[in-house]
Structure 1
């Protein structure tokens, strides 16, 4: 399955009010989607930060990326996949303050990214053109530049 083509189809189908998405999850565990999700996770600056399992993205790849992604796909499809707890750490916020940060495992990040890649094209078409928060290729600076705030 070609990821970009499928995302285009998902976006197009979402514009048809009579279309029902009865099985989006089969796309989430598709090997191509999981691999694209892996590439995104690996490219992220936090990829070398381990979750509770102690694995970084490099460790996950070295263990056998292809086998790991096949196993993940099988567990998602069979319903036996269970996310791990997040690793809690605290980062400084100010002189006397800290902010809690939850760090998921690499595998959980891959699943989250695959879900985002499936759901974003479906729901993106529902958002207003004047909405800029947490949207792809949009930022608060764009909103200011366009005078929507």
Structure 2
């Protein structure tokens, strides 16, 4: 059994507005998607091994996508590992990351953060010639 079935491809096609996708086209697309993902994961594993790590990170996947000239992932970071949950429905398994539920009332009732201080500028003139600056500010 493959990771991407033709039913998955048909569902994605329907969500994009393509309703009459043929069975053989969906099967060919599912094989192609699985092959491409396999390539990206292999490339990401190379980044992981060269970094001397044993855990694959989102940065490894992003680097692998960049090497393949594919747009990298946006909005994902590898700060801590994700906890996947499993849902079973009609003999299909689905793994998902449970998002934290945010209550807007509690957010709106919190006090506002402090306003940052005004921006200040300091004027400084550089030294002409080749003499070494005498004070620390001049060496900037």
TM-score range relative to shorter protein:
under 0.3
Task: From the two aligned structures, give the one with the greater helix fraction.
Answer: 1
Q: Which has the higher contact order (CA 8 A, sep 6+)?
A: 1
Q: Which has the larger radius of gyration?
A: 2
TM-score (norm 2): 0.28
